[in-house]
Amino acid sequence: MTAKIRLYVEHALQQGQSVPVSRDQAHYLFGVMRLDVGAQVLLFDGHSGEWLADVVEAGKRRGVLQVVQQTRPLQMPPDLWLLFAPIKKARTDFIVEKAVEMGAARVVPVQTEYTNAGRVQRDRLQAHAVEAAEQCGGTFVPEVAPLVRFDRMLADWGTDRQIMFCDETQLALKPALPTTRGPWAILIGPEGGFSPAERTRLRGFDQAHPVSLGPRVLRADTAAVAALTLWQAALGDWV
């Protein structure tokens, strides 16, 4: 029997360990998916890889899984952050999900001058990150960071991390991204674009590299996927 269900757990995993499941997880495993004692699931904790586990207790509100063996080691994504201005709820959820699927190591909501969303529900977005990792086969769950103001973000920026700055006013994919590997970030602006002051500051920022995402203006969620694709194909673990 091949395990088809993957589940993220907050318990550190090792062979022979018993893992209690939460009430919500019990409902999903034993109510929705109708697993019973003897079934197998795949577990990951974000630190020790993926593990095969047997269901040894199954109830409506609780259950216990027994870790059998490791199936895959931890696979870390590249050291890439996705920085984006929050937009409408469903489309922000989409950005977080696709960031996880496409290999971002950290997701950072950024408050720009033209950002419409005044706050983000970080716990909900982190839950979406977990679900995306479960579904895409990842063994690592990126952190969804607290919302940070654009000016504060740049003021605290380190010298070692480069920024791929997606600028809708850039006419071509020039200058090309440097081939320097190491820490990177992708910055996606809000639906109204970056303000003139923000664009000026980015263009004067040593670590920022403006790029175009083509001749058409993309929605913010589309731009995030396009930018992640370009970076992964050039500098990431797709190469």
Mean pLDDT value of segment 130-139: 96
Confidence of residue 100 (pLDDT cuts 50, 70, 90): very high
SS3 201: helix
Neighbours of 156 (CB within 10 A): 8
What is the predicted pLDDT for the residue at 238?
84
Residue 189 · residue 112 · CB < 8 Å: yes
Mean pLDDT value of segment 176-195: 87
Q: Which residues pair with 108 in a beta bridge?
A: 83
Domains of the chain: 6-72 (2.40.240.20), 80-235 (3.40.1280.10)
Q: How far apart are CA 17 and CA 1, in angstroms?
A: 21
Write out pLDDT tens, residues 22-73.
Answer: 999 999 999 999 999 999 999 999 999 999 999 999 988 899 999 999 999 9
- With tokens 């904790």, the residue in question is 45
Q: How far apart are CA 171 and CA 151, in angstroms?
A: 25
Greatest CA span in the chain, whole angstroms? 61
Q: How far apart are CA 158 and CA 200, in angstroms?
A: 19
What is the predicted pLDDT for the residue at 1?
52
Q: At what angle do helices 122-136 and 89-101 cross, to 10 degrees?
A: 40
